[in-house]
Structure 1
Amino acid sequence: MELAFAGWSGILILLMYGLIMLGVGLVTYLRNRNIHQSLDEYYLGGRGLGVMVLFFTFFATQYSGNTVIGYPPSAYRMGYEYLVSVPFFIMIIVAYLLFAPRLYKLGKKYRLITPVQWFEKRFKSKNITILAAILMLYALGNYLLEQLVAIGQGVSGLTGGTIPYQIGVIFFVVIMLIYGWLGGMRSVAYTDTMQGIALLFGIFMLLIGSIIYFGGLPTSADYMQAYSPEKLGVPDGPGVVNWLSLLVLVGIGAAVYPHAIQRIFAAKSERTLKRSFSRMAWMPFFTAGVVFIIGIIGINAFPGLSTAESEQLVGMMASAVANQNVIFYWAMVLLFGGVIAAIVSTADSVLLTFSSIISNDLYGTYINPKATEHKKLLVGKLAGVVAVCILILVAWFPPATLYQIFVLKFELLIQIAPALILGLYWNRLHNKAVFAGMVTGTVVASVMTFVNFTPFGIFSGLWGLLINLAICVIGSMVMSVSVGEEDEAKQVIGM
C-alpha cells in the first residue's frame, strides 16, 4: 500500500488517531473505575451498549480495514464476478438472525460473559467446553495475527516507508494494550465508533474522487468490453459452486466469531440488538458494494497491472485522487489513517475476547475456581499481553499471505456452529454426538486444508462442517437421552 501522497502528513494523522484512542481509554477509565473489579463491566461494558455504539462496534468487527485494502484488488482481477463479495456480508447478517436474538435472551438470563460459557451451560461437558474454547482461541489468535500484519503494512504504506513495518506494529499494539487495559469493552466500542465514521467518510470520498477523475462504471465497462471481456462474464459451474461454498463458510464463520457473540451479550436490550442488525443489513451495499465499484473503476484507471501490482491498487488510486486538490488530499490521508485505525479496532476486539476466554473460562473455571473477579481480570489482561508479544514475533516476518491466514481460521472456527446453533433449539442434542462431531469436523477440515484437497471446489471447512453436522444430528437421534437430561436441557434453553 505505497502512497505517493503520504509521508509526514501520514505520520501526523497516525499520531492523532493514536492520541484519540489513548484519550478514549483514559476517559473511560476515569468514568468507570469499577471495571477493575467486574468481569461484566470490563468485558461487556456493563451490558449497556446502545443502538449507535453497538451498530458501530458490529460494523468495525465485520468490516476491518482489510475490506478497503484487499477487496478492490480482487474486483480488479476478477471483474464483475467479484460482485459476490456483497452477498458475503449479507450472509453474515442472515446467520446472525438464526441465533442472535435467542442467544441474547439466554445470555441475559444466565449472565453469560463469553460464548464458551454457553457451551458449558448447555452441555455441562468439560470435553465440549475445552474443545470449543481451543477452537475459539485458535481462530482469535489467527485473526489477531492477520490484523498485526495488516497494521504494519498499512503504517509503512501511509508514511511512505518513513516508519518501518515492525515499528508500526509495535506503536499501535502498545496504544491498543493501554486503552484496552484501561477501559475494556467501553473503550473498544467507543474507538470502534470513531474509526467506523472515519472509514465510511474516507471510502465515499475515494469513490467520489474516482468517479470524477477516472470515470464511473460505464467507462470501465466500455474498457472491459474492448480489452478484457472475460471480466464482464459470469462464473462457470465450478466457479458458482466455489462461490456458494465461500458464502456459507464466511457467512456462518464470521457470525460465530467469539468477539461478535460477545457483542450480542453486550447489547442494552433485545430491541437494541435488533435495531443495530437492521442498520447492519444496509452496510454490505455501502461498504463492500462501494469498494467493489472502486476496484472496477480501477480496471480502466490503471489497466494491465500484474497480480502483485494490483495489490497496490487502492494506494495508487488514492494517490491520484489526492493529487487533484487539497480537499481530496486530506480526505485520502484521513481514509488511510482510518483504515489503520479500523484494523486496530478489530484487533482490540479480538484481544478482549481472547483475554476473557482465558481468564473466565479456562483459568476461572478449571485452574482456580475460587479466584476473585479482580484476579481473573488481571490474569486475562496479562494473558492478552503475552499472546500479543508472541504474535508480534510471528508477525515480524509474516508466514503467509493475508488471504491464507484469513481462510484457515474459518475452516476450524465454523466447527462450533452446529453445537452453538442447534443447542439453542434442540433439547435432545446429545453431548457425546456433539463432541464427536466437533472433533471429527476439526480433524477433517485441518487435514483437507493442509493437503489442499477441496472436492468439487467446496472448501475443506464445509466438508468438515457437513460431517460434523451429520454426526451431531444422526448421533443424537440414535443415542438415547434420559428423561432427566432432556428436562434439564429444556430448562436451560426454555423449550
Structure 2
Amino acid sequence: MDLAFSGMDGVIILVSYAIVMLLIGYLSGRGKNLQNSLSDYFLAGKNLGIIALFFTLYATQYSGNTIVGYAPAAYRMGFGWLQSISFMTIIIAAYLLFAPRLYVVSKRKNFITPTDWVHHRFKSSAVTILSVILMLWGLGNYLLEQLVAIGQAVSGLTGGTIPYQFAVIAFVLVMLAYEWMGGMKAVAFTDVMQGVVLMIGIIIFLAGSLYLVGGNFGNVTSFIADNEPAKVGVPPMDASINWMSMLILVGFGAAIYPHAVQRIYSAQSEKTLKKSLSRMAWMPPLTTGLVFVIGIIGIMMFPGLSSGDSEQLVGMMANEIAAINSFYYWIMILFFGGIVAAIVSTADSVLLSFSSMISNDIYGRFVNPRATEHKKVLIGKVGGIIAVAALLWLAWNPPATLYEIFVLKFELLVQVAPAIILGLYWKRLSAKPVFWGMLLGALLAGIMTLTGYKTVFGIHGGVLGLGLNVFIAVVGSLFITTSAKEESEVEEMTSLKLEA
C-alpha cells in the first residue's frame, strides 16, 4: 500500500490511535477483577449492549483488509465482484440460522467457547478435540494474515518511517496490553472506535473518488464498456458455479469462526442479539457495496494495471484524493490510520478467541480440569503470546511447505459447521458419524487444496469436503439406533427454556 503522505503525519495519527486503544483497555478493566473469571475476561460478562455488540460483530466480519483487498478484486473482475456483497449477506443468514438458538443454550449452560457446545452436545472427546484443532487452525491462519497486514499498512502509511517488523511488534504490544487490561470489553469498545472511522472513511473516500471522475458514475461504466467490456459482461458458467461455492464456504465458515460465535455468547440478551444481527443485514451494501464501487471507479482512474500493481489500488487512489485539498488529506490519513486500527482490532478478537480455546478447551478440559478460573485465564494469556511469537516467526521466515499448509482456512474451518448447526436441530445426530464426517471432509478439502485441485468444475474443495461431511454425519446417524432416553437428553440439551 504505497502512500505519499508525510511519514511524520502518519506516525502522529498511529500513535494517537494506539493511545486511545490503551486508554480504552485501561478504562474497560479499571475496578474489575477480570482475571478471576473466564466469562468476564473472554465474554465481557455476557453483558454487551446493542451498540457494542453491533460494532464488535461488524469488526468481526469486516477488517481493514476488506477495504485494501476487496477494491483491487473489483478492479480485476469488474462487475462480477458484486458477489462480495452476497458473501457478507450470506454470513448474516447463517448467523440467523443458529445464533438465537445457540445463545439461549449457551446462557443456560454458561458456555465460553464454541466447542463447549460441541462437547455438551456429543459427549465425545474425539469430536471435541477435532473441533478444537480445526478451529485453532482457522484462527491461527486468520491471525497470521492480520499480523502481516499490520506491518504492511503501518509501513505504507508512514512512508517507511516505521519499518515493517517494528510496526508489527509495536502494535502487537499495544494489542496485548489493552487486551490484557480489559479483555473482551476492551476489544468490543475498540471495535466501536474503528467501526465508526471505517464507515465515515469509506463514504468520504467514495465521495473523493467520484469527484475525480467528474462526479458521475455513469462516466465510469461507459468508460469500462468502451475499453474493458469483459468487466461488464455476464460471467461464464464456471464463474457462476464458483460464486455459489464461495457463498457456502464463506457463509458457513465465517459464521462459525470462534470469535464470531463468542460474540453470540457475549450478548446481553436474545433481544439484543437479534437487534444487532438485524442491523448487520444492512452492512454488506453499505460496506462491501461501497468498496466495490470504489474498485470500479479505480478502473477509470488507473486503467491497465497488472494484477500485482492493482494490489496498490487503494493507496494510489488515496494519494489522488488527498491531493484535492487539505481536508481530504487529513481525512485520508485518519482513514488509513483507521484501517490499521481495524486490522489490529480484528487481530485482537482472533487472539482473544485463540487464548480462550487454549485456556478452556485444551488446558481446562484435558490438562488440568481442576484448575481455577484465574489460572485458566493466565494460561490463555501465555498461550496467546506463544502463538503470536510463532506466527511472527512464520510471517518473517515462511518455510515453503509449512506456509502452503497454513493457507488452509475456510476449507477446514467449515467442516465444524454440521456439528454446531445440525446438532442444534436434529436429535438423532450422533457423535461417531459427526467425527468421521468432520475428519474425512477436512482431509478431502486439505488434500485437494495442497495438491493444486482447489476447485472441481468451480466447486471449492472445502465445499466438496463439507458435502462429504454432511453425507457421512446424516447417513451414519440414521443407521445408529438411539434410545428414548438419549433422545430425551438431546431434547433437554437443545431446549430453548432459559432455566435448566
Question: TM-score of the superposition, structure 2-length normalised?
Answer: 0.96
User: Residues 399, 285 of structure 1: CA spacing in aligned structure 2 closer, same or farther, 3 A cutoff?
Assistant: farther
Aligned residues of 2:141 and 2:407 also touching (Cα < 8 A): no
Name the structure 1 match of 2:383.
383
Name the structure 2 match of 1:237.
237
Aligned residues of 2:404 and 2:450 also touching (Cα < 8 A): no
Name the structure 2 match of 1:253.
253
Letter in structure 2 aligned against 1:72: A
Aligned residues of 2:5 and 2:158 also touching (Cα < 8 A): no
| Structure-1 separation of matches of 2:429 and 2:225 | 54
| Structure-2 separation of matches of 1:35 and 1:334 | 32
| Structure-2 separation of matches of 1:164 and 1:308 | 22
| Structure-2 separation of matches of 1:309 and 1:199 | 24
CA offset digits 1:232-253 (Å, max 9, x no partner): 1121111100111011111111
Residue range with higher mean Cα deviation, 390-399 or 38-47: 390-399
CA offset digits 1:243-278 (Å, max 9, x no partner): 110111111110011000000000000000011011
Shift of 1:55: 0.3
Shift of 1:394: 1.1
Aligned residues of 1:411 and 1:462 also touching (Cα < 8 A): yes
Aligned residues of 1:146 and 1:406 also touching (Cα < 8 A): no
| Structure-2 separation of matches of 1:492 and 1:355 | 26
Name the structure 1 match of 2:37.
38
Letter in structure 2 aligned against 1:104: Y
Shift of 1:404: 8.2
Percent identity reads: 57
Name the structure 2 match of 1:69.
68
Shift of 1:480: 1.3
Name the structure 2 match of 1:479.
480
Name the structure 1 match of 2:298.
298
Aligned residues of 1:76 and 1:296 also touching (Cα < 8 A): yes
Aligned residues of 1:351 and 1:384 also touching (Cα < 8 A): yes
| Structure-2 separation of matches of 1:399 and 1:266 | 38
Shift of 1:230: 0.7
Name the structure 1 match of 2:286.
286
Determine if the alignment matches structure 1 residue 343 to structure 2 residue 346.
no
User: Residues 6, 78 of structure 1: CA spacing in aligned structure 2 closer, same or farther, 3 A cutoff?
Assistant: farther
| Structure-1 separation of matches of 2:398 and 2:232 | 35
Name the structure 1 match of 2:361.
361
Name the structure 1 match of 2:171.
172
Letter in structure 2 aligned against 1:492: M
Determine if the alignment matches structure 1 residue 80 to structure 2 residue 79.
yes
Name the structure 2 match of 1:90.
89
SS at match of 1:305: coil
Name the structure 2 match of 1:273.
273
Aligned length in residues? 492
Name the structure 2 match of 1:468.
469
SS at match of 1:289: helix
Letter in structure 1 aligned against 2:183: G
User: After the TM superposition, which residues 88-487 of structure 1 pair with which residues of structure 2 at under 5 Å, given as runs?
Assistant: 88-215=87-214, 216-397=216-397, 408-453=408-453, 454-487=455-488
Aligned residues of 2:6 and 2:159 also touching (Cα < 8 A): yes
| Structure-1 separation of matches of 2:276 and 2:432 | 36
Name the structure 1 match of 2:48.
49
Shift of 1:201: 1.2
| Structure-2 separation of matches of 1:444 and 1:98 | 26
Shift of 1:494: 2.0
Shift of 1:27: 1.2
Shift of 1:399: 6.6
CA offset digits 1:6-54 (Å, max 9, x no partner): 411111111000111111111112142x201111100110111000100
Letter in structure 1 aligned against 2:177: I
Aligned residues of 2:134 and 2:412 also touching (Cα < 8 A): yes
Letter in structure 1 aligned against 2:193: M
Shift of 1:407: 6.6
| Structure-2 separation of matches of 1:399 and 1:460 | 24
Letter in structure 1 aligned against 2:368: N
Unaligned runs of 5+ in 2: none
Shift of 1:493: 1.0
| Structure-2 separation of matches of 1:398 and 1:24 | 34
Aligned residues of 1:249 and 1:462 also touching (Cα < 8 A): yes
Aligned residues of 1:150 and 1:343 also touching (Cα < 8 A): yes
| Structure-1 separation of matches of 2:131 and 2:4 | 46
| Structure-2 separation of matches of 1:457 and 1:55 | 34
| Structure-1 separation of matches of 2:70 and 2:96 | 25
Aligned residues of 1:64 and 1:342 also touching (Cα < 8 A): yes
SS at match of 1:370: coil
| Structure-1 separation of matches of 2:31 and 2:186 | 11
Shift of 1:200: 1.0
Shift of 1:435: 0.6
Shift of 1:214: 2.0
CA offset digits 1:297-353 (Å, max 9, x no partner): 011111111111111010010000001111100110011100010000000000001
Letter in structure 1 aligned against 2:490: A
SS at match of 1:317: helix
Aligned residues of 1:142 and 1:405 also touching (Cα < 8 A): no
Aligned residues of 2:13 and 2:333 also touching (Cα < 8 A): yes
SS at match of 1:408: coil
| Structure-1 separation of matches of 2:62 and 2:34 | 28
Name the structure 1 match of 2:16.
16
Letter in structure 2 aligned against 1:455: V
Shift of 1:92: 0.3
Name segments (4+ residues, structure 1) moved above 3 Å. Answer: 397-400, 403-407
Shift of 1:228: 0.5
Aligned residues of 1:143 and 1:405 also touching (Cα < 8 A): no
Question: TM-score of the superposition, structure 1-length normalised?
Answer: 0.97
> What is the aligned-residue RMSD (CA, Å)?
1.4
Shift of 1:430: 1.1
| Structure-1 separation of matches of 2:407 and 2:382 | 28
CA offset digits 1:421-451 (Å, max 9, x no partner): 0000111111111111011101111101101
